[in-house]
A = this chain, B = another copy of it.
Amino acid sequence: MAKSKNTEQKIFDAATELFLEKGVDRTSVREIANKAGINLALMNYYFRSKENLFDAIFTMLVKKNTRNLIKILDSDLGLEEKIRKYVEAYIDMLTDNPLLVSFVMAIVHRSQERIIQMKAISSLYSTSKFAQQIFDESKKGHIKPTSPTQLFVDMLSLITFPFAIKLLIMDKNNYDEAQFREFMEERKQRIPDLLLMSIKKEGE
């Protein structure tokens, strides 16, 4: 039992490292087995397939990195502060974990169907409290009547997509890494401003 936990963990760790380093597709199962120092077939013994192993690792990474995002969204903060904190934390998270974006893209590409089955991702899109808040605020007349779904999709798009086309942006604007970082840093202010402006009542 002790030994088995060990083996499973060794596979998991080796695969995580390789996936992050070279991407899923460019990492072979034999390589993982090598790095973990285990027999090739054990990978299929513990995880049913490479795809499955990927899912497990991805779920772990998402869970680990998005806990506080969800906490912010579900908190009792006011709308403005909540949006500002969320955007900032999200951008920080993706800046620190560039592979997460590429992982999500991998899933989106392979089969969108799977995305909705992965609870880790799905929970990222957990807006019940946020939606309620939008609803309440607009009822109270503090903000314009707003579709929570539209607003939330706006927010996700503005945060996430630039990371997906990072190299394109860098290429077209002759940015180096530091400049791209700066570009995203600006967006921490810009995105909340944009979103808040869109829900502000006319003439206030």
Contact = CB atoms under 8 A, between A and B. Distances in A.
A166 B112 contact: yes
Interface in A158-203: 158, 160-162, 164-169, 171-173, 183, 186-187, 190, 193-194, 197-198
Interface stretch (A31-39, A89-97, A146-154): A146-154
Contact of A108 (B112, B154, B164): B164
Given A105-B105, A150-B187, A198-B194, A168 B121 contact: yes
A6 interface: no
Contact of A158 (B105, B158, B165, B172): B158
Contacts of A171: 116, 122
A40 interface: no
A4 interface: no
B167 A153 contact: no
Interface residues of A, number: 45
Given A106-B109, A110-B25, A161 B157 contact: yes
Contacts of A106: 109
Contacts of A108: 102, 105, 109, 164-165
A115 interface: yes
Contact of A161 (B111, B161, B173, B187): B161
B102 A150 contact: no
28 contacts: A25-B110, A102-B108, A105-B109, A108-B109, A108-B164, A108-B165, A113-B167, A116-B171, A121-B168, A122-B168, A122-B172, A125-B165, A125-B168, A149-B172, A150-B183, A153-B162, A153-B169, A154-B158, A156-B161, A156-B165, A157-B158, A158-B158, A160-B161, A161-B161, A161-B164, A164-B164, A194-B194, A194-B198
